[in-house]
Amino acid sequence: MEDEEGGIKETLLNKRYYENCPGCKVDLHKAGQRGLPIKELFTVWAVVLGTALPISSLFPFLYFMIRDFHIAKREEDIGSYAGYVGSAYMLGRALTSVFWGIVADRYGRKPVIIIGTFTVVVFNTLFGLSINFWMAVITRFLLGSLNGLLGPIKAYAAEIFREEYQALGMSTISTAWGIGLIIGPALGGFLAQPAEKYPAIFSKDSIFGRFPYFLPCLCISLFSLVVAIGSFWLPETLHIHDSEMPPQDSYKTLEAASDAKEESESNPKENLFKNWPLMSSIIIYCIFALHDMAYSEIFSLWAVSPRKFGGLSYSTADVGEVLSFSGFGLLVFQLFLYPLVAKYFGPIITARVAGVLSILLLASYPYIAMLSGITLSVVINFASMMKNALSISIITGLFILQNNAVDQRQRGAANGLAMTGMSFFKALGPAGGGALFSWAQKRLDASFLPGNQVVFFVLNVIEAIGLLLTFKPFLVERQNR
């Protein structure tokens, strides 16, 4: 115990510490911290969850929302318009993610986190009050444009935890993200159209009767409001070193500051586009992001579409039940199974195995639609849980690779660059998935891959491309400097 305390003291003495630097204060706190950082883990989890919930909460009811807007001339065209609304968020985020990353590197992670969570409160609420198709598209676009915290929160997680807990921090982000993408649709499924589902509680003349998709958006916005208020007490992790030295620092600190200045001058910021360990992980991340977003859009449309089109004829509540079960299974997997698997095999091998299993699983989906009753319920719940667990296994490993590929000075910009690419591909996901789904419903009698078979075949092609790129020489890990 005495040796450990002596090591901590020696670390503090040798650390380049600036009295008024928030990042240095966090480093000092980490140096003396012992045990699992529960508070920090919960903080990161809550912030990411508040951001993830609105992204896909609309999918279970989007089909019915578009139908109520009366913009689609035919039932088969609803999927296409639904794709445009789903893509608006990601398009907005693609255009602004680098900007928010640069802001996070210059002014701090905390301001971007606060702005992003308040953005959810405002524009997610307005989306629930949409009265036409274009209002829905615009509010989703603004929600994506102004909520740029996902990149900075990954940098924040890499900085707020001690080195031995950084993998757990990244896993917490992907867990919260995955759970948000599942609980969000579950809330949308259970709480949409409340006047029809729960007439004893919600009157048709109330605001929830006149705006049938407002209740799930309101619940998510209230959660984000709590997170936004709590974010004011987050510690800033960005190192901001001004010219003033702490009064107690003497020659040793002055010498360390001089060394730091020389190191900064001799190691200028590198061009992120020439950092292949970063760029290769981002490219693979974008491909899997495209696949995951297209899958989320297609799964909900497939589940609620009529049996005559190869769907499951589920209600929004049915979809909510499936996604709730998936969320619980994902939580158990990330807390108890993934850390053991990743520790033994490593994040890259784990991602490859998850990709192979995901392809095999998706190939079975068209045949799942042939089932009915309790058999269908059991199989679709298990398949949905497995698919989301496999997707999160891939994303978590890529998170770790991206943040290890750059120094802290560029971590916000690097994550912003990753968010730009990922958001652009995710914008293609719902639009492409919706268009593909509508096209598939028009070719039920095709001789080659009829109906929904072609949908899941295309998803598997995208997954296979991402899987192949996880091998050398394409994917390169950064060597420790």
Tell me how far apart the alpha carbons of residues 168 and 166 are, in angstroms, rounded to a whole number: 5
Range(s) within the chain of domains with CATH label 1.20.1250.20: 33-238, 275-480
Tell me how far apart the alpha carbons of residues 209 and 193 are, in angstroms, rounded to a whole number: 7
Q: Does 275-480 carry CATH code 3.30.70.140?
A: no
- Percent of the chain, pLDDT > 70? 86
Tell me how far apart the alpha carbons of residues 180 and 117 are, in angstroms, rounded to a whole number: 14
State pLDDT tens for residues 398-410: 877 887 788 767 7
Which pLDDT score is estimated for 175?
A: 75
Tell me how far apart the alpha carbons of residues 170 and 183 are, in angstroms, rounded to a whole number: 20
The mean per-residue pLDDT over the stretch 158-179 comes to 74
State pLDDT tens for residues 124-148: 999 999 999 999 999 999 999 998 8
State pLDDT tens for residues 280-326: 988 998 999 889 888 887 887 888 888 877 788 888 778 778 877 77
Which pLDDT score is estimated for 67?
A: 86
Tell me how far apart the alpha carbons of residues 214 and 188 are, in angstroms, rounded to a whole number: 9
Average pLDDT, the chain: 80
pLDDT of 11 higher than 70: no
Tell me how far apart the alpha carbons of residues 144 and 54 are, in angstroms, rounded to a whole number: 10
State pLDDT tens for residues 373-428: 899 989 999 999 899 889 888 888 887 788 778 876 777 778 778 878 877 887 78
Q: Specify the CATH number for 33-238; select among 3.30.450.40, 1.20.1250.20, 3.40.50.10800, 3.40.50.1970.
A: 1.20.1250.20
Any idea what DSSP says for residue 274? G
Is residue 292 within 8 Å of 355, Cβ to Cβ? no
239: confidence class by pLDDT, cuts 50, 70, 90: confident
Tell me how far apart the alpha carbons of residues 53 and 186 are, in angstroms, rounded to a whole number: 10
pLDDT of 246 higher than 90: no
The mean per-residue pLDDT over the stretch 16-20 comes to 66
Which pLDDT score is estimated for 481?
A: 47
Is residue 456 within 8 Å of 294, Cβ to Cβ? no
Q: What is the largest CA-CA distance in the chain?
A: 82
pLDDT of 6 higher than 50: no
pLDDT of 2 higher than 50: no
State pLDDT tens for residues 189-226: 888 889 888 888 888 888 888 899 999 999 999 999 99
Which pLDDT score is estimated for 224?
A: 93
State pLDDT tens for residues 48-86: 999 889 987 887 788 888 888 888 777 767 777 887 887
